[in-house]
Structure 1
Amino acid sequence: MKQITIGSWTIEVDVNKTKEFYRKHHLITEGCDCDFCANFVLACDKFPPAIKELFNLLGIDPRKEGEVSEYMENKDGTHLYGAFYHIVGRIIEGPKLWMPTEEGSEVSSPTFEKYYGVELGFCEGLSLFFEGLPIPTIQFEIQMNIPWLLS
C-alpha cells in the first residue's frame, strides 16, 4: 500500500489492486445511456492535468463507475457534477466527510475540501459496493464543473 496525503486526508492506497478493479469494470455509459453520463465520459479527457494526475495517483479510471450525477447547469454553460469512486485502501487520518446538518439529524452534508478547483473528500462508508471490489475499500468523492461536450 502507498501512503498519500490529499488535503486533510492521509490515506493508504493499493494502486495496483485499484487499477486492476477498474481495468475489469465497465464504462459509465455501459450502465447508463443518459446524456449526462455520456457527457461526463467525454469530459474526462478534458479534466485539468492536476485532476487527471489525481485519478491516476489513486488508480481510478474516471470513465468507469462509481456513480456520477449531474446537479445543474451553471450560468457559464458548464455543468456541476458529483461522482464517487471506490479505492482499495483505508483512511489513516482526516476529517469525517459526511456530517449531520444539525445535532441528532439523520440528514448529512459533505465537508468537501477545495483541491485544484474541485471539491473532494474521502470516507469509509460506501454508497454502492460492486462485485469483485477488493477489501479494504474507501470511497473518493468529487464535485466539479465540466463543459457540455455533446452536440
Structure 2
Amino acid sequence: MDQIKVGSWDIEIDVNRTKEFYKNYHLITEGCSCDFCANYVLACDIFSQDIMNIFNLLGIDPRKEGEVSEYMENEDGTHLYGGFYHVVGRIIKGPNLWVPTKKGSEVSSPTFINYKGIEIGFSNDLVLVPEDFPTPVIQFEFQMNVPWLLN
C-alpha cells in the first residue's frame, strides 16, 4: 500500500486492488435506470482533468457502481450531486468527515474540503460496501456540480 495525502487526510491505499475491483464491476446505469444516474455517467466523460485526477489517484472509475445522488438543480442549470465510492485502504490521519450539526444531535453534516473543484472527504463509516470488495476499506465521499447532458 502507498501512503498519500489528499486534502486534510493522510491515507494508505492499494490503488491496484481498487482499480481491479472497479475494472470488473458494473456501470451505475446497470443498477439504476433513472435520468439522474444516466446523466452522471455521461458527465463522467467530461469531468475536468483535476476531478479525474482524484478518481484516478484513488483507483476509482467514477462510471462504475458507487452510490450517487442528485440533490438539486442550480440556477446555472448544473445539478448538485453527491455520493461515495469505496477504496482499498486505511485512514492514517484526518478529521472526522461526519460531525453532529449541534451538540447532542443525532443528525450529522459533512466537513468536506474543496479539492480542485470537488468537495471531498474520507470516512471509516462504511455504507453499502459490495460483498466482494477487498479489505481494508475506507469510503471516499464527494459533492460537486455536474452539467445536465441528457436531452
Summarize the alignment of residues 72-111 of structure 1 with structure 2, pairs less than 5 Å apart. 72-111=72-111
Structure 2: unaligned runs, 5 residues or longer: none
Partner of 1:56: 56
Question: For structure 1, which segment, 98-107 or 69-78, has the greater mean C-alpha deviation from structure 2 after superposition?
Answer: 98-107
Asked if structure 1 preserves the Cα contact closer than 8 Å seen for 2:70 and 2:81, the reply is: yes
State the TM-score, normalized to the length of structure 1.
Answer: 0.98
Q: Over aligned residues, Cα RMSD in angstroms?
A: 0.7
- The amino acid across from 1:76 in the alignment is D
1:60 Cα deviation from its structure 2 partner: 0.2
Asked if 1:47 is matched to 2:17, the reply is no
- The amino acid across from 2:39 in the alignment is N
SS at match of 1:114: strand
1:117 Cα deviation from its structure 2 partner: 1.7
Partner of 1:21: 21
1:113 Cα deviation from its structure 2 partner: 0.3
1:53 Cα deviation from its structure 2 partner: 1.0
Asked if structure 1 preserves the Cα contact closer than 8 Å seen for 2:121 and 2:142, the reply is: yes
Separation in 2 of the partners of 1:122 and 1:33?
Answer: 28
- State percent identity of aligned pairs: 71
1:133 Cα deviation from its structure 2 partner: 0.4
Asked if structure 1 preserves the Cα contact closer than 8 Å seen for 2:17 and 2:134, the reply is: yes
State the TM-score, normalized to the length of structure 2.
Answer: 0.98
Partner of 2:112: 112
1:66 Cα deviation from its structure 2 partner: 1.3
For residues 14-61 of structure 1, give each alpha carbon's deviation from its aligned partner in whole angstroms, at most 9, with x where no partner exists: 001101111111100000000000000000011110110110110000
Partner of 2:123: 123
Structure 1: unaligned runs, 5 residues or longer: none
